[in-house]
Amino acid sequence: MWILKPSHTACFNSFSAQLAAGRHFWQFAMLMFALQWVAVAGQGQNPYGLSLTTTPEQLQLQADSQPALRLVALEGYIPNLRTQWVYAGKHNFTGRVLYQRPAAYLRAAAATRLLRVADSLSKMGLGIWVFDAYRPYAVTLKMWEVVPDDRYAANPATGSGHNRGIAVDLTLYNLQTGQPLAMPTGFDSFSDTAHHDFDQLPSEVIKNRALLKNLMESAGFVALPTEWWHYSLPQPKNYPLMDLSFKQLRHHWRRHHVRR
């Protein structure tokens, strides 16, 4: 991916004109080589050779080319949104702080679908409670070190839907009481009880799980069979992997605010 600043473009145009006039050929060739080196250097790679989006400039280029790739901040966009950032503390399956000062982000393709779900839920007196949405690719590497099992953790050789901004971990809560609905397990319970086909549960729990699943699938999300809380969009390779920190995203969001 080429990342050209305005100053680069102006210089490029100037040398192009000179080349057309038959002058400064070698200077022009050296400029082209330098620009290509900058472009390659700006596109990070993971240990498995996959390309990663690592700068806000890359993210903006993606959004400019395809609106569905815009990164949307869910706070203020999804009505009645609640969050609980388990990975921002040590009380998670890794026992480590995996990221700091997080916020809920999704690609526009996923955010608009989640909005449809939230609108349907609000009519039932319910809201969305998010545990995780976008997360940097570096976090996927750390998770795989602890749980190298693709039933419960994303294989870093392909990356996670969370790294692509198209996956969300969530539950439902009652708008009046503020309490979460009863679900099969707590978040990140790596057990058969968390599977969608596990039915040795109270009828109310099965009903709540089915409500979440039906609404998410109707909006275009796909359920992960082994985790009742995890949903993502199909065709993940249509959405580039990202390894941007939440600090980078906060700065990017302030410059490119996307309103509902």
Other C-beta atoms lying within 10 Å of the C-beta of residue 245: 15
Find the helix or strand (DSSP H, E) in which 119 lies: helix 108-122
CB contact set of 135 (below 8 Å; sequence gap of 6+): 87, 98, 99, 102, 160, 162, 163
Q: Are 64 and 57 in contact (CB under 8 A)?
A: no
Residue 227 is a catalytic residue: yes
Task: Identify residue 233 by its one-letter amino acid code.
Answer: L
CA-based nearest residue to 50, from 175, 143, 155: 155
Instruction: List the catalytic residue out of 145, 204, 217, 227.
Output: 227
Strand partners, 172: 128
The residues carrying an active-site annotation are: 227
